[in-house]
Amino acid sequence: MTNRPHLSIEGVDLDFRTREGVRPILRGIDLKIARGEFVAVIGHSGCGKSTLLNIVAGLITPERGAILLDDKLVDAPGPDRAMVFQSHALLPWLTVRENVALAVDQVHRRTMDAAARAQLIDEHLAMVRMDHAAARRPHELSGGMRQRVGIARALAMRPAVLLMDEPFGALDALTRARLQDELMAIQADLSMTVMMVTHDVDEAALLADRVVMMTEGPAARIGRIVDIPLARPRRRAQVLRDPAFIEARVQMLSFLHGDAVEDADAAAMLAVAAE
């Protein structure tokens, strides 16, 4: 990692205009993210986490402030920032494979020949265990399967920045754990910068280098940032008992639920760790 930020969110204010008038959603969001850094964003429902991700994706323009990627202004969506949405966003008339191929062809057409692109598509479908369903259309899949295709599509684009909006929320625990592990491996491999919104404090502490905690809206700000000083590669079984993980978890829960949680929860978790 260099000192120069890869992704820089600078003084972002955002309002939504509704029938009741102008609602301030985000205020004074400043965040510098290094290349290859994994940042998780947590906060109460409705505080503006998805909105922040959409601003970084270039889908929403803030009232004030700017997003810079390698010092260049971001003001529109681009293949350098792939997004995994809360619920899948697949094209219903294309098969699973064609959905992934569309993105891969768009991004890698100039740099990879057809055989290499086909291999990339197959690798990513296999990674999310969707190779067996490559010829199916989205309506023939479960919600979790569609989400896995969306994840494969985003990863296969090999973006500089991966934006993920609660990507694993709809998945069963085993699939979620496997994809979290895969994501950590790919991210380390490609030195990909990741910004992920999640409600799951364990997921945030397992995956992230820093967890950004947002205050409740309206006019949400960054309330606190917690560092997760766990060495990489991280192994789930070890991480869960690591005092640094437990401490980070306590800080997050304490921020989300108030300080009353801190003592009781810390005692309970330390007791589990000591078993």
Ligand X SMILES: Nc1ncnc2c1ncn2[C@@H]1O[C@H](COP(=O)(O)OP(=O)(O)OP(=O)(O)O)[C@@H](O)[C@H]1O
Range in contact with ligand X (rule: CB under 6 A) among 38-46, 135-143, 185-193, 236-244: 38-46
Q: Which is nearer to ligand X, 58 or 117 (CB)?
A: 58
Q: Which is nearer to ligand X, 184 or 220 (CB)?
A: 220
Please, how many CA atoms are within 13 Å of residue 240, restricted to the half-sphere of its CB? Answer: 7
Distance CA 130, CA 121 (A): 11
Q: Which is nearer to ligand X, 187 or 198 (CB)?
A: 198
- Is residue 24 classed as helix, strand or coil in its secondary structure? strand
- 262 membership: H or E segment, kind and range: helix 260-274
Smallest gap from Cβ 266 to ligand X, in A, equals 25
The binding track of 179-218 with respect to ligand X, each residue x by CB under 6 A or -, is --------------------------------------x-
Q: Which is nearer to ligand X, 131 or 200 (CB)?
A: 200
Q: Which residues, numbered 211-250, are part of the site for ligand X (CB under 6 A)?
A: 217
User: 31 with 212: CB under 8 angstroms?
Assistant: yes
Q: Which is nearer to ligand X, 124 or 150 (CB)?
A: 150
Greatest alpha-carbon pair distance for the chain in Å reads 58
Report the residue count for the chain: 275
Instruction: Tell me how crowded residue 189 is: count the other CB atoms within 10 A of its CB.
Output: 8
Q: Which residues, numbered 3-22, are part of the site for ligand X (CB under 6 A)?
A: 16, 18
Q: How many residues line the site for ligand X (CB under 6 A)?
A: 12
- Is residue 147 classed as helix, strand or coil in its secondary structure? helix
- Is residue 255 classed as helix, strand or coil in its secondary structure? helix
Distance CA 223, CA 142 (A): 37
Q: Which is nearer to ligand X, 23 or 109 (CB)?
A: 23
Q: Which residues, numbered 131-150, are part of the site for ligand X (CB under 6 A)?
A: none
Distance CA 230, CA 210 (A): 10
Smallest gap from Cβ 16 to ligand X, in A, equals 3
Q: Which is nearer to ligand X, 67 or 230 (CB)?
A: 67
Q: Which residues, numbered 42-61, are part of the site for ligand X (CB under 6 A)?
A: 43, 45-51
Smallest gap from Cβ 48 to ligand X, in A, equals 4
How does 152-181 read in b/e, with b if 16+ C-beta sit within 10 Å? bbbbbbbbbbbbbbbbbbbbeeebbebbbb
The reply on whether position 25 binds ligand X by CB under 6 A is: yes
Q: Which residues, numbered 102-121, are part of the site for ligand X (CB under 6 A)?
A: none
User: 221 with 203: CB under 8 angstroms?
Assistant: no
User: 235 with 265: CB under 8 angstroms?
Assistant: no
Query: Which stretches of the chain bind ligand X, using CB under 6 A?
Result: 16, 18, 25, 43, 45-51, 217
